[in-house]
């Protein structure tokens, strides 16, 4: 299915779409074509929008280019439809609502009640916990069970989740009611709001909501508490009581005089919802006319601008065609045109008169200053040359191919390439070099339409013995390295504490290399407000808590000496400031990159930036950098290139890439030319009442969308696979490891060459433990990722633990059988207590307590490795 990215336009290097200042043209209007004259006219409708899908009869008026003030008009009674396609598009709309919080006394006059409501529709969940009088730190505690509303479920030992309920069936308002005893030792209730439909979480000023139940807590700007006046709850007219409570039991003297006040407060909440629309394009040719007419129509509401041009060859280079142009057209940087679509009853449309000798029509839709609609991350491309060869297509044929022509073409190309593999087998000329060349071509197509690639994964045919012995030649490409990479994370959350981590790691370089790793990921190298390095300050100061710049250079040299490529951990999303502005806000930077507040995004109120709106999610602990600024991108590109040359880094691990558009990442990687790059795109998976959903397509789609925005120049950590492995192993639900199409359910099932699989890292494990892998089941996780496609990453803590020898054996088996990032998986069993698969017909594996043995037959299997609830077999020659 075709997908569209909405937001900043994703660039395709082959489709250069220039944008810049406007120059108004003095144009004569093009008269409308009457497209509603046919009594047999078919309509394609979507959400109230209709598009013509027929051969209309009647009069059409075409304006030809002319040197006179009035363009001559030719009249024709009919026209042939040469091409028609309807594109389903999705765009994001922001819906505003309110979060309502009320504290008042219960009807029994003994307890109090906190009511939290939301005015927006959705599957809302309250994720909440409490803190007690005398607690230090920011951790939550699980509330006592007598506070749990009906339907609540525990989340480990620190929180519970409660579904919102509607007061009535037809109501869009949702609420949760929490009753509590005011004499308890609870100091505050903490919560965040989660929308299970989108996976989004909502906080208060970037932090958890905190409702104080005592009157002596210091207001840090994040507290919800009694105000001087009261509002009204929906459908309620009574004002809330205000009373002083004497605690019957207390933990300290503060609790003895605690004063509880009722209040009502509203907080704004904005939800992003996906809205489906259509774009219809039809090309018509009139008898004896030199030109063709392209009709473009959409049901997207509001003002829609078409940013367009034409091309004359397969390079798809944009250029401006000859006049005439539609009304409301302007020139953009002398390389493209912009036309405001004219409103219709159900949307808007425009007509374009084009020379039939042109090869193609290129366009994107501009909805506002920051919102663009394109096709699968690239510009829409309408082939005018192929349209000339399909005259006389019937209505039924047109309707059948509408919306599918582009994707079907890609599928056919992929199938032809796969057929090429089989035909080579018959000629006995097939070798791995040829296979890899074909697979690389398939992947290029997949980068344009990765959703098609999911269901069209080719399989390797059998090989003769001579081909087996030949080493495959794989082109090294940014994002994947050689395809055989195995990544070692070379630090944990505590590595900075010794102050000499670089030197300690240098001593382990040979040992890490001998285990079979090819790439090592080092910690952030810059001066940082936090000792771990993820709050960078002066980017050119590489004396950090891990060691000095000279020690870093020495470490990189040693790692190179034992054959390891080295990744630098670069934090591009945010940066800590050196100075305060006139308002006392920290948003002025020092050092070599002495930016002012123009470098800070303008939609984070914490840091008063003067930049544009953020192109991603804000990280509220530090100023978020505005990557749309030319000077910012220029400086960051220079810095990355300096790191490559000065330190010797071979590639990048990119921190918090949710915070800025992947198109900027593409710019940085194109300039710095890394051997390997991987981004951290980490957000929540989909759950229903605390239980993970089987279908995690929406989650992995967000990761794949980011990879696609980089034009495939970077991979991404496969957070989806990690989360599914958690549930499968914790709950003995190994059926989760196969999606609805019998493929791996994570990113590795859709785009394996860009999936970096892992089970633990410095955030999820180590001493932080934000999302720790199920204890005692780590080797099942490694048996999965080290035998499957993708690029596996192993956490440092596991290398230096009792798992070391088992991990080393799995790496050796992977290398011995030449498993790589594009290897082919066949899932043979995915049941309650066992998962089993074969990989490249060379390796068989199973995890889980259930039984599995590979079947005996022409291919003989021998047990190679065995551990707690996992086994791995190799095919015998």
* Catalytic site positions: 655, 680
Distance CA 120, CA 93 (A): 13
Cis peptide before 324 (omega within 30 of 0): yes
- The backbone torsions φ and ψ at residue 522, rounded to the nearest 5 degrees and listed phi first, read -95, 160
451-490 burial, b at 16+ Cβ within 10 Å, e below that, comes to bbbbebbbebeebeeebeeeeeebeebbbbbbbbbbbbbb
Other Cβ atoms less than 10 A from the Cβ of 100: the count is 21
Write out the two tokens for 113: 């009640």
SS3 category, 123: coil
Single out the residue of 484, 482, 335 nearest to residue 18, CA to CA.
335
The string of DSSP letters for 575-630 reads ---SEE-TTS-EEE--SSS---GGGB-TT-TTTT--S---SS---TTSPBB-TTSH
The string of DSSP letters for 498-545 reads GS-HHHHHHHTHHHHHHTT--EEEPPP-S-BSSTTSSSB--TT---BT
The length of the chain in residues reads 877
Place of tokens 């609502």: 97
The string of DSSP letters for 681-705 reads ------EETTEE-S--HHHHHHHHH
SS3 category, 1: coil
Radius of gyration (C-alpha) of the chain in whole angstroms? 30
SS3 category, 799: helix
Q: Decide: 787 and 486 in contact? Cβ < 8 Å.
A: no
| Whole-number Cα distances in Å, 227 to 224, 260, 264, 406, 775 | 9, 12, 8, 58, 46
Distance CA 832, CA 849 (A): 10
SS3 category, 434: helix
Write out the two tokens for 377: 């991350």
Per 3-state DSSP, what percentage of the chain is helix, strand, and coil (rounded to 5)? 20, 30, 50
Distance CA 50, CA 280 (A): 9
Residues 6+ apart with CB under 8 A from 570: 524, 640, 643, 652, 653, 654, 655
DSSP 655: S
- Helices and strands in the chain, H and E counts: 17, 43
Residues 6+ apart with CB under 8 A from 427: none
Helix axes 804-816, 778-785, angle to 10 degrees: 10
Residues 6+ apart with CB under 8 A from 67: none
Write out the two tokens for 461: 């045919």
Q: Decide: 504 and 498 in contact? Cβ < 8 Å.
A: yes
- The backbone torsions φ and ψ at residue 105, rounded to the nearest 5 degrees and listed phi first, read -80, 140
28-42 burial, b at 16+ Cβ within 10 Å, e below that, comes to bebeebebeeeeebe
Which residues are bridge partners to 615 per DSSP?
none
Sign of CA dihedral 63, 68, 69, 70: negative
């Amino acid at each position: 299915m075709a997908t569209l990215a909405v937001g900043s336009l994703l660039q395709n290097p082959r489709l250069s779409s220039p944008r810049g200042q406007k120059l108004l043209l003095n144009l004569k209007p093009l008269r409308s074509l009457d497209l509603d004259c046919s009594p047999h006219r078919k309509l394609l409708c979507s959400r109230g929008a209709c598009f013509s899908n027929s051969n209309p009869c009647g009069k059409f008026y075409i304006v030809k280019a002319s040197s006179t003030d009035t363009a001559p008009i030719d009249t024709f009674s009919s026209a042939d439809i040469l091409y028609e396609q309807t594109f389903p598009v999705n765009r994001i709309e922001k819906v505003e609502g309110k979060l309502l919080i009320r504290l008042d006394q219960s009807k029994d006059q003994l307890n109090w009640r906190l009511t939290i409501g939301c005015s927006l529709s959705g599957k809302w969940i309250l994720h909440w916990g409490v803190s007690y009088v005398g607690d230090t730190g920011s951790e939550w505690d699980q509330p006592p069970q007598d506070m749990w509303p009906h339907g609540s479920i525990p989340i480990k030992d620190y929180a519970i989740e409660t579904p919102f309920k509607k007061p009535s069936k037809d109501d869009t308002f949702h609420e949760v009611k929490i009753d509590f005893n005011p004499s308890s030792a609870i100091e505050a209730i903490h919560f965040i709001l989660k929308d299970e439909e989108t996976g989004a979480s909502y906080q208060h000023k970037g932090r958890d909501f905190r409702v104080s139940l005592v009157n002596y807590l210091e207001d840090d700007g994040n507290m919800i508490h009694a105000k001087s006046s009261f509002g009204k709850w929906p459908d309620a007219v009574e004002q809330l009581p205000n009373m002083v409570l004497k605690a019957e039991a207390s933990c300290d003297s503060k609790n003895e005089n605690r004063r509880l006040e009722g209040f009502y407060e509203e907080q704004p909440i904005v939800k992003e919802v996906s809205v489906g629309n259509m774009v219809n394009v039809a090309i018509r040719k009139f008898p004896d006319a030199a030109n063709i007419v392209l009709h473009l129509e959409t049901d997207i509401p509001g003002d829609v601008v078409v940013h367009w041009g034409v091309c004359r060859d397969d390079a798809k280079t944009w250029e401006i065609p000859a006049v005439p142009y539609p009304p409301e057209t302007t020139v953009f940087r002398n390389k493209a045109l912009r036309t405001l679509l004219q409103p219709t009853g159900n949307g808007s449309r425009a007509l374009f008169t084009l020379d039939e000798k042109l090869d193609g029509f290129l366009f994107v839709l501009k909805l506002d200053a920051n919102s663009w609609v394109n096709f699968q991350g690239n510009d829409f491309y309408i082939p005018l040359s192929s349209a000339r060869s399909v005259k006389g297509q019937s209505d039924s044929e047109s309707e059948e191919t509408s919306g599918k022509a582009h994707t079907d073409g890609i599928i056919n190309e992929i199938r032809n390439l796969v057929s090429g593999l089989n035909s080579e087998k018959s000629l006995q000329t097939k070798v791995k070099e040829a296979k890899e060349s074909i697979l690389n071509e398939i992947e290029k197509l997949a980068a344009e339409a990765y959703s098609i690639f999911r269901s069209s994964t080719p399989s390797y045919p059998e090989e003769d013995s001579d081909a087996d012995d030949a080493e495959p030649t794989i082109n090294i490409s940014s994002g994947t390295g050689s395809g055989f990479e195995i990544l070692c994370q070379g630090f944990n959350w505590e590595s900075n504490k010794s102050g000499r981590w670089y030197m300690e790691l240098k001593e382990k370089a040979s040992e890490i290399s001998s285990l079979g790793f090819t790439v090592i990921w080092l910690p952030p190298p810059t001066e940082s407000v936090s000792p771990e390095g993820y709050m960078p300050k002066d980017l050119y100061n590489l004396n950090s808590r891990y060691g000095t710049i000279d020690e870093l250079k020495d470490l990189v040299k040693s790692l190179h000496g034992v054959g390891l490529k080295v990744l630098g951990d670069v934090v591009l999303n945010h940066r800590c400031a050196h100075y305060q502005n006139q308002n006392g806000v920290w948003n002025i930077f020092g050092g070599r990159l002495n930016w002012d507040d123009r470098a800070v995004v303008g939609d984070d109120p914490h840091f008063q930036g003067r930049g544009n709106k953020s192109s991603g999610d804000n990280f509220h602990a530090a100023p978020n950098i505005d990557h749309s600024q030319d000077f910012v991108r220029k400086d960051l590109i220079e810095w990355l290139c300096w790191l490559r040359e000065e330190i010797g880094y071979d590639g990048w691990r990119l921190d918090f890439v949710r915070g800025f558009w992947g198109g900027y990442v593409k710019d940085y990687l194109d300039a710095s030319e890394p051997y390997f790059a991987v981004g951290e795109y980490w957000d929540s998976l989909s759950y229903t009442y605390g239980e993970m959903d089987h279908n995690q397509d929406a989650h992995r789609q967000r990761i794949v969308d980011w990879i696609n925005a980089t034009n495939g120049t970077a991979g991404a950590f496969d957070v989806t696979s990690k989360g599914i492995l958690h549930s499968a192993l914790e709950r003995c639900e190994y059926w989760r490891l196969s999606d609805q199409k019998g493929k791996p359910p994570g990113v590795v099932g859709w785009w394996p060459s860009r999936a970096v699989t892992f089970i633990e890292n410095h955030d999820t494990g180590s001493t932080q433990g934000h999302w720790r892998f199920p204890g005692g089941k780590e080797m099942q996780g490694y048996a999965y990722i080290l035998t499957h496609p993708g690029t596996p990453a192993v956490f440092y803590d596991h290398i230096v633990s009792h798992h070391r020898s088992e991990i080393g054996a799995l790496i050796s088996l992977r290398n011995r059988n030449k498993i790589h990032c594009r290897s082919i998986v066949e899932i043979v069993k995915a049941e309650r207590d066992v998962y089993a698969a074969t990989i490249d017909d060379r390796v068989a594996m199973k995890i889980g307590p259930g039984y599995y043995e590979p079947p005996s037959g022409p291919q003989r299997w021998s047990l190679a490795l065995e551990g707690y609830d996992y086994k791995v077999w190799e095919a015998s020659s």
